[in-house]
Amino acid sequence: MGETAKKLSGAEIVVEELKNERVEVAFGIPGGALLDLYEVLYQEEEIKHILMRHEQCAAHAADGYARASGRTGVCIATSGPGATNLVTGLATANIDSSPVVALTGQVPTSAIGTNAFQESSTFTITMPITKHNFLVTRTEDLPQVIHNAFYIANTGRKGVVLIDLPKDVQGNRVEVELHPRTTSPGYRPNIKPNQVQTKRAAEVLLNAERPLILAGGGVISAGATQPLRELAELLGAGVVTTLMGKGAIPEGHPLSLGMAGMHGHVYANRALNECDALLALGTRFSDRLTGWQLDQFAPDATVIHVDVDAAEINKNLPVDIPIVGDVKLALHDILKWLDKAIKVDKEGKRESPWLRRIKEMHSACEECIKDVWRAGSSISDVVIKELSNILDGNAIVTTEVGQCQMFAAHYYITKEPRTFISSGGLGTMGFGFPAAIGAKVAAPDRQVVDIAGDGSFLMTCQDLATCVENDIPVVVCIFDNRYLGMVRQWQELFFDKRYSHTNLGVTPDFVKLGEAFGCYAERVEKPEELKSALKNAFESGKPAVLDIIVGREDKVLPMIPPGGGITGMIGTERCKRI
């Protein structure tokens, strides 16, 4: 145990333990059940509290902070509606394995179960959408609970931990020892890969003619981008990513094939289909990656799956060589085996027919994208490519969900890990903007841009007030088509153009809306105006809203249609060079 005993209130213990966990910032909204905690935060200088305008945004901001920095994000909400408003944000973070700790107020322990004012059973509501949660009933337990929460959130497969804090638990004064060092007996994340398995993996990869690496979010989470690149170069293996894996390898790298899956690149999917050894790293083979015809997914390949969560192995796709453990450690081991036991013919690998095919497909795809861009028939494609060129991989980009997200995933060239932040698993509209707030707080020196749709942005835009009040200059680029575009696209393609309730009709004047909040705002009528508008936005030093008018019926293509597999993409006529 740590320091000598002191008599502290529960709220003081919470704040002391947060500081001990090196928390520098928390996103939250106070409330009746949190008065004690906020009383302590009022005089606290080491923890910056950012007052949000909706609890969902507090959770997304903490999530964005975590994804941009790798550090645990912290959000705070009061009991009842405060906690239920957090739910979407917590589910979003948890399914994407983002480390977040949520603190919620709760009615006093004596009132629990009485349907008291602002009472909801946060503990049971959040159980299925968190990695773990606690309902603290004794003030004495706080140091251990908070230590466990941070340890659980940011180790193993990362995730969300919620701590429910009844009012009396915050108010009681007790003598406790702070800063415990032990953790839960049942939590032992298995991070060390099995040596026999990594050796087998190394042998398979070495002997493969067409090796491919599939990088998921776990690569970024584990900080494994460097060994990934090293291995790809050593083997002459192509690298495709999932949506969450964007940034695992610079997308301009000759071995990068970009994102695969439902809205991925044709050639990334084709490589998945053609490879004879697949090294899948930190991915859960979601249906948005594999499509629905699993027989088209790496049918000839020996599949090696590395994941820190044993429950992901064989869950969605049967694999040949499972490796449970940290992706970075596994890559180091594989590199070690390749280096030690076997001499790799580097020159030979560099000139393999497979590598030539990858390069051919890569440049063919580049050309096709240029075709689409030149044709200008879909304005969204042009805008996103323009945005990608202007930002040049230097900004942190967050996305909302839907067409804007898939345009970004497809065309936006990501160069570094933690610079492409998107709600992958839950697909939460309204995520991108508050996540951008969190990312900007985590990385104040970087430009942060939210690639938004008009539908998504309206779900959380009230937090422009937070940006202005706290001087958080993020730039929101709204792809304005006055439709819920992705659903409309599906209705067009698969429901006989019956646009049931996807037309947003009259939408706000986003320039005036931005200005009303005190933001810089500008309308972009044509893609070529984007550059100056972005420049103006950044130079204003203020939070900014750019209302970019795109084609009302632009479609994100190519795509795997519902029920299809990775070789059955539609809309491929624009990819004629491959």
Residue 284 is a binding residue for another protein (CB under 8 A): no
User: Does 262 qualify as catalytic in the annotation?
Assistant: no
Residue 132 is a binding residue for another protein (CB under 8 A): yes
Residue 315 is a binding residue for another protein (CB under 8 A): yes
Yes or no: say if 75 and 98 are a contact pair by the CB < 8 Å rule: no
Name the CA dihedral angle for 531, 447, 486, 372, rounded to a multiple of 10 degrees.
40
Which of these ranges, 6-14, 182-190, 373-381, 466-474, lies near another protein under the rule CB under 8 A?
182-190
Residue 127 is a binding residue for another protein (CB under 8 A): yes
Residue 532 is a binding residue for another protein (CB under 8 A): no
Note the residue count of the chain. 578
Q: Which amino acid is residue 432, in one-letter code? A: G
For residue 394, CA distances in Å to 247, 366, 427, 499, 542 come to: 12, 20, 25, 38, 19
Structure tokens at 180: 């415990």
Residue 113 is a binding residue for another protein (CB under 8 A): no
Residue 246 is a binding residue for another protein (CB under 8 A): no
Choosing from 22, 51, 114, 124, the residue that interacts with another protein (CB under 8 A) is 124
What's the closest the beta carbon of residue 494 comes to another protein, in angstroms? 27
User: Does 251 qualify as catalytic in the annotation?
Assistant: no
For residue 203, CA distances in Å to 279, 313, 331, 335, 343 come to: 12, 20, 13, 11, 11
Residue 114 is a binding residue for another protein (CB under 8 A): no
Helix, strand, coil share (%) of the chain residues, nearest 5: 45, 20, 40
Tokens 């606290």 sit at which residue? 44
Q: Which amino acid is residue 175, in one-letter code? A: E
Q: Pick between residue 128 and residue 505 the one whose CB is nearest to another protein.
A: 128
- # binding residues, another protein (CB under 8 A): 20
- Distance, in Å, from the CA atom of 385 to the CA atom of 406, rounded to the nearest integer, reads 12
Which of these ranges, 97-105, 181-189, 332-340, 567-575, lies near another protein under the rule CB under 8 A?
181-189
Which of these ranges, 86-94, 171-179, 307-315, 485-493, lies near another protein under the rule CB under 8 A?
307-315
- Distance, in Å, from the CA atom of 93 to the CA atom of 497, rounded to the nearest integer, reads 34
Choosing from 45, 115, 181, 185, the residue that interacts with another protein (CB under 8 A) is 185
What's the closest the beta carbon of residue 99 comes to another protein, in angstroms? 15
Q: Which amino acid is residue 164, in one-letter code? A: D
What's the closest the beta carbon of residue 319 comes to another protein, in angstroms? 13
Residue 135 is a binding residue for another protein (CB under 8 A): yes
Residue 118 is a binding residue for another protein (CB under 8 A): no
Which of these ranges, 124-132, 242-250, 487-495, 513-521, lies near another protein under the rule CB under 8 A?
124-132
Angle, nearest 10°, between helix axes 10-20 and 142-153? 30
162 φ/ψ angles, rounded to the nearest 5 degrees: -110, 140
What's the closest the beta carbon of residue 27 comes to another protein, in angstroms? 25
Yes or no: say if 265 and 257 are a contact pair by the CB < 8 Å rule: yes
Q: Which amino acid is residue 534, in one-letter code? A: L
Residues with catalytic roles: 55, 117-118, 167, 486
Binding site for another protein (CB under 8 A): 123-124, 127-128, 131-132, 135, 137, 148, 152, 184-187, 309-311, 313-315
